[in-house]
Amino acid sequence: MDSSENGPLHAVSNTLGWLYFIAWSASFYPQVLLNWRRKSVQGLSLDFVYLNLVGFTAYAIYNTVLFCSEPVRRQYRERHSGEDSLVQLNDVVFGLHAVLFSIITVGQVFIYPRDSDAKRPWLAIGIIPLLGVGLCVMIGLSASGILEALDTFYYLSYVKLVCSFSKYFPQLYINFQRKSTVGWSIGNILLDTTGGVLSIVQEVLDAYLAGHWAGITGNVAKFALGVLTIVFDTAFIIQHYVLYPDRTDYYTMEDGGASQQAKSSEGRKEPADYASTSEIPKL
């Protein structure tokens, strides 16, 4: 397409890219601030925290290499009729920012009290080693010349998708089990949804401007990540605003007759069940 005719649309695409970057990046702050304000991570899934870190680390490496590495970009062009990857600078900055705040959240898990009856993060314990083994296999195949380096970085993008698909289920279950979303920031979800919508719109617009869909088929991770975000965030929004509207933070309430009576009427656990503990989470 004539770039002069589509100049305004390119500007729109760039704007959408940075808006999605702002929304998705800002989505990390509400949960971190909520944990800090409550001095607790009670109500937050450990599976979510650990899978989030692994997924965004893989995604950051994938975006950075596809944006910065000329040998990998050349391999991409050879597979996609000479077209460049649609990974942009805002994708790179977002991934690195996400890793930083994922590390901060993991640090909070080790510092603040968690649920006294919290189970080991079995999903993360099962998935992360398998993904690591897969990465080792991909590196070996690339080093031996059977696969190209691009395939290894594609694998990292799929690691992000697996982590994103898996990490939400434990948090949904915890909310369902407690009949509450206390400890899980809705601000995170609203900003996450906004970023997901903007990301999809930008990628579709970029494909239209490029005159082909290789930008989407060649960067499945970004498109699928946006779709997964919208689907799961919708479920969290329904839980927060429709199914479990009670915002009483029983985790931080002290034992007392009035609070116990209130919880009994709601069919909730006694405050003792949510007692704070300094036990370091087990991996």
In a domain, 34, yes or no: yes
In a domain, 268, yes or no: yes
What pLDDT sits at residue 278? 43
Q: Are 57 and 99 in contact (CB under 8 A)?
A: yes
In a domain, 280, yes or no: no
Q: Which domain holds residue 136?
A: 7-274
The total of structural domains in the chain comes to: 1
Token readout for 175 is: 């909310």
In a domain, 2, yes or no: no
Determine phi and psi for 192, rounding to 5 degrees: -65, -45
In a domain, 1, yes or no: no
What pLDDT sits at residue 44? 92
In a domain, 282, yes or no: no
Phi-psi region of 145 (alpha: psi -120 to 50; beta: other; left: phi over 0): left
| pLDDT tens series, the chain, 283 aa | 445 556 788 888 888 888 888 998 899 999 999 999 999 999 999 999 999 999 999 999 999 999 999 999 999 988 887 878 878 888 899 899 999 999 999 999 999 988 766 678 889 999 999 999 999 999 999 999 899 999 999 999 899 989 988 999 999 999 999 899 999 999 999 998 998 888 888 878 877 777 766 666 666 766 777 788 889 999 999 999 999 988 877 666 643 333 433 443 444 444 444 444 444 444 4
| pTM exceeding the 0.85 threshold for the entire prediction | no
Orientation angle between helical segments 220-238 and 149-178, nearest 10 degrees: 0
